A and B are shown apart, each in its own frame.
Chain A
């Protein structure tokens, strides 16, 4: 009897707790993602998880990415570019305050950019700032950025999470107490579990519609499924188990958004290792691959085939998949022309993500069909970075390049796939200094064609980005033009 009393007491307490959380549900949200940020400074690590929590929510840059990947004004309300394209003058919004109450001034912008490009900078994307000659605070709301040479992608570069504006007096603690200018303030971090944000009542722009945001970190795909099904979390961005998506699609409680990312998934090829240094052999590999079979088999059908190193949602994208259609007979002919009629053996080194591990098995069997044997080895990320990325000790590998607009890596002869083409370098240098949008677009298309025709790497597919959310949540980003979970416009429908 006493036990039942205790039991019913317990149940009513629990019901009460549940009721309280229900009442607040309309302005609170729990968003889950797979990876936890290692720390909270987007300007000193490559970890995308940092941006996934903080970009645009807590930290802002002079410019910012929109949901479609366009570059929009951020902290800078406007800018002008000098005739020679070497000087950018940014006009900052008036009355912007950091979360600690201090004013945002041009000095903070100067500090942030100088810190990112400085001698001892630990910025993972330091190359973004390489063309900057000097930064000058003209008056409290005007910043002048002088470039060594015209740089058509400066506004784009400044929209990255690595280029957000921070205040010098809060930099010492930024890794655990991020102070930004965004629509949400950081409030609490229980390491290993969650990060809480709260609405910034003094926000300079359109205020956020949510009062409280909790990010939860659930790495295990099974646990992720359970958390969404049990409605412990309201949304899961980057849902890790594509095989479960149809189940959510069929359930009226949920909505499933499958968006595009900046992740070009490629069969990276060591362009200096024989026989892969022969373009004919690389072309043979390209024709031996059946992209759709890989997307279906490894990604449960989620992914867009690509024929070059460029995101299909970008307006400048050219569909070049026709250059490498699945044609095993042609592939065998090409191998014979290259003097390898009996095929050859190479290495296939696979990092941990499932696109690589599952995709690798499928590619290995497709290559075997044309006579190319692969020795598969599964590597941890740290080993992959050491052996493949740094040591360039590989024949083939599968990896997704998730940085936005990263076709420039083909202009770096020392980059891990060893592509050394002076013509591409020249083309890219032209692109860098070009300011005219139409000409830039032409050059970008030319660049895509050049690497596709050189068969530098096997171009597989653009990683899809699945989000599962409560059907009543509006305003979530579908695509991932940069790693971000921009919640500034998210709200609950009544």
Chain B
């Protein structure tokens, strides 16, 4: 077990180093001088140089990489070029929007997908099943930003139940904060719920045709009892895997939804930083997301080994 753990840990470290090099080089290759962007069309050459010096842009590539990567190791993400505040503070602020939004969306998607998937699987072939499958097909097909605009039109402009966007801030109270995240969370959750419903249904159907279900039925359980006691647990493994993937997607991939609802989240931060050539923010946020995904994978690897003893012995 220890050997397995160390091996995983080494591969985690190597992935992180490789990712940091790739991210850094990719942004080096992209043209554009942050100082020129910040100072605009009337700037003079000596002013540009003064600013580049202030920003630490005048060193060699290797020097700049080492100072950035070294900072990351000690938890220092550097200072944003444009905002001139520590990147870690900015990320911290944005996480307070992005993380609750992702959790909210994941909760909604789970609350929709579990009952819908179980219901469809238990009535396989019925009109319920066909209805759920049709609805999820639609849910996967509809672009979430379009659905978001539709909701804004109905619930914000016509009914005035919600504001059209923005974030009230947690200091305005938990309910106010959750309220401003509701429409974005629904928009994000809809396609995820559709996917999850389909996975839930097919995984449950697969499990229901396993031998141990027949055994359970043979010893006298009803179809429903067999499903709730034996099939559901076993069917959850692929569903949980998908949920894990969805969570990292929701955290990193909400850029468009954050723009539609002008929420101050991580996605919008990266978007703004890219257009403003605030390279250090882009690098650090992308690195953080990579780190999150790699760590989640690492945890999943470990969990597999804990759950399934065969994995431990094989390696």
Residues of A within 8 Å of B84, CB to CB, are 39, 175-176
User: How would residues 177 to 194 of chain A score, 1 for a CB under 8 Å from any chain B CB and 0 otherwise?
Assistant: 000000000000011111
Is B41's CB under 8 angstroms from A192's CB? no
Tally A-B pairs: CB < 8 A.
159
Q: Quick one: given A123-B47, A226-B165, are A385 and B157 in contact (CB under 8 Å)?
A: no
Q: Quick one: given A385-B33, A389-B36, A401-B41, are A122 and B54 in contact (CB under 8 Å)?
A: yes
User: How would residues 114 to 141 of chain A score, 1 for a CB under 8 Å from any chain B CB and 0 otherwise?
Assistant: 0000011111111100000000000000
Stretch of B4-12, B222-230, B271-279 at the chain-chain interface: B271-279
Is B93's CB under 8 angstroms from A191's CB? yes
Distance (Å) between the CB of A404 and the closest chain B CB?
A: 11
Residues of A within 8 Å of B152, CB to CB, are 223, 226, 230
State how many residues of chain B have any CB contact under 8 Å with chain A.
55
Distance (Å) between the CB of A178 and the closest chain B CB?
A: 12
Residues of B within 8 Å of A426, CB to CB, are none
Q: Quick one: given A220-B259, A232-B164, are A46 and B32 in contact (CB under 8 Å)?
A: no
Q: Which of A39, A124, A232 contacts B163 (CB 8 A)?
A: A232
Residues of A within 8 Å of B50, CB to CB, are 119-122
Distance (Å) between the CB of A231 and the closest chain B CB?
A: 8
Q: A38: CB under 8 A from chain B?
A: yes
Is B157's CB under 8 angstroms from A230's CB? yes
Is B47's CB under 8 angstroms from A220's CB? no
Residues of B within 8 Å of A232, CB to CB, are 156, 163-166
Is B42's CB under 8 angstroms from A218's CB? no
Is B32's CB under 8 angstroms from A124's CB? no
Is B44's CB under 8 angstroms from A190's CB? no
Residue of B nearest to A194 (CB): B166
Is A193's CB under 8 angstroms from B167's CB? yes
Q: Quick one: given A17-B176, A192-B269, A380-B32, are A223 and B38 in contact (CB under 8 Å)?
A: no
Residues of A within 8 Å of B176, CB to CB, are 17
Is A222's CB under 8 angstroms from B260's CB? yes
Is B32's CB under 8 angstroms from A192's CB? no
Is B164's CB under 8 angstroms from A227's CB? yes
Residues of B within 8 Å of A176, CB to CB, are 84-85
Q: B309: CB under 8 A from chain A?
A: no
Q: B160: CB under 8 A from chain A?
A: yes
Is A126's CB under 8 angstroms from B44's CB? yes
Q: B149: CB under 8 A from chain A?
A: yes
Q: B153: CB under 8 A from chain A?
A: yes
Q: Quick one: given A17-B176, A226-B157, are A389 and B41 in contact (CB under 8 Å)?
A: yes
User: How would residues 248 to 285 of chain B score, 1 for a CB under 8 Å from any chain A CB and 0 otherwise?
Assistant: 00000000000111111100110010011110000000
Residue of A nearest to B173 (CB): A17
Is B264's CB under 8 angstroms from A38's CB? no
Distance (Å) between the CB of A202 and the closest chain B CB?
A: 27
Q: A390: CB under 8 A from chain B?
A: yes
Give Cα A406–Cα B42 distance, bound, in whole angstroms: 9
Q: Which of B19-42 contact A (CB under 8 A)?
A: 30-33, 36-42
Q: B69: CB under 8 A from chain A?
A: no
Q: B169: CB under 8 A from chain A?
A: yes
Is B166's CB under 8 angstroms from A385's CB? no
Distance (Å) between the CB of A276 and the closest chain B CB?
A: 20
Q: B90: CB under 8 A from chain A?
A: yes
Q: Which of A1-58 contact B (CB under 8 A)?
A: 10, 13-14, 17, 36, 38-39, 45-47
Is B32's CB under 8 angstroms from A403's CB? no
User: How would residues 355 to 391 of chain A score, 1 for a CB under 8 Å from any chain B CB and 0 otherwise?
Assistant: 0000000000000000000000000111101110110
Give Cα A216–Cα B43 distance, bound, in whole angstroms: 28
Is B157's CB under 8 angstroms from A229's CB? yes
Q: Quick one: given A36-B272, A46-B40, are A121 and B31 in contact (CB under 8 Å)?
A: no
Give Cα A303–Cα B84 distance, bound, in whole angstroms: 36
Q: B82: CB under 8 A from chain A?
A: yes
Distance (Å) between the CB of B13 and the closest chain A CB?
A: 32
Is A230's CB under 8 angstroms from B160's CB? yes
Residues of B within 8 Å of A226, CB to CB, are 149, 152-153, 156-157, 164-165
Residues of A within 8 Å of B169, CB to CB, are 190, 193
Q: A302: CB under 8 A from chain B?
A: no
Give Cα A175–Cα B38 distance, bound, in whole angstroms: 14
Residues of B within 8 Å of A219, CB to CB, are 259, 262
Q: A394: CB under 8 A from chain B?
A: no
Q: Which of A190, A218, A381, A390 contacts B165 (CB 8 A)?
A: A218
Q: Quick one: given A176-B85, A223-B165, A227-B165, are A403 and B42 in contact (CB under 8 Å)?
A: yes
Give Cα A138–Cα B49 distance, bound, in whole angstroms: 34
Q: Which of B30, B36, B42, B263 contacts A127 (CB 8 A)?
A: B42
Q: Quick one: given A120-B50, A383-B31, are A39 and B260 in contact (CB under 8 Å)?
A: no
Q: Which of A271-287 contact B (CB under 8 A)?
A: none
Q: Which of B40, B83, B277 contacts A39 (CB 8 A)?
A: B83
Residues of B within 8 Å of A192, CB to CB, are 93-94, 263-265, 268-269, 272
Is A230's CB under 8 angstroms from B163's CB? yes
Q: B175: CB under 8 A from chain A?
A: yes
Residues of A within 8 Å of B38, CB to CB, are 38, 45-47, 124
Q: Which of B49-78 contact A (CB under 8 A)?
A: 50-51, 53-54
Give Cα A47–Cα B34 distance, bound, in whole angstroms: 12
Give Cα A194–Cα B259 distance, bound, in whole angstroms: 14
Residues of A within 8 Å of B43, CB to CB, are 46, 124, 126
Q: A254: CB under 8 A from chain B?
A: no
Q: Quick one: given A120-B50, A121-B50, A190-B264, are A382 and B277 in contact (CB under 8 Å)?
A: yes
Q: Quick one: given A226-B156, A226-B165, A386-B31, are A217 and B42 in contact (CB under 8 Å)?
A: no
Q: Which of A119, A122, A217, A383 contacts B32 (CB 8 A)?
A: A383
Distance (Å) between the CB of B223 and the closest chain A CB?
A: 31
Residues of A within 8 Å of B179, CB to CB, are 14
Is B36's CB under 8 angstroms from A193's CB? no
Residues of B within 8 Å of A127, CB to CB, are 42, 44
Give Cα A219–Cα B259 distance, bound, in whole angstroms: 7
Give Cα A218–Cα B152 distance, bound, in whole angstroms: 15
Is A191's CB under 8 angstroms from B261's CB? no
Residue of B nearest to A389 (CB): B41
Q: Which of B171-217 contact A (CB under 8 A)?
A: 175-176, 179
Residue of A nearest to B47 (CB): A126
Residues of A within 8 Å of B44, CB to CB, are 126-127
Chain A residues close to B by CB (< 8 Å): 10, 13-14, 17, 36, 38-39, 45-47, 119-127, 175-176, 190-194, 216-220, 222-223, 226-227, 229-230, 232, 380-383, 385-387, 389-390, 401, 403, 406, 409
Please name 9 pairs of A and B residues whose Cβ atoms are closer than 8 Å in the assembled complex, sorted by A. Answer: A36-B272, A46-B38, A46-B39, A47-B40, A124-B43, A193-B169, A230-B156, A380-B275, A409-B42
Known pairs A123-B47, A193-B264, A230-B164 / 17 extra A-B pairs, C-beta < 8 Å: A122-B51, A125-B42, A192-B263, A192-B265, A192-B269, A193-B263, A216-B166, A223-B261, A226-B153, A230-B157, A232-B164, A232-B165, A380-B275, A383-B32, A386-B36, A387-B31, A403-B41
Q: When A and B form their complex, which 5 residue pairs have the shortest distance between CB atoms, in order from nearest?
A: A46-B40, A382-B32, A192-B264, A38-B82, A226-B164
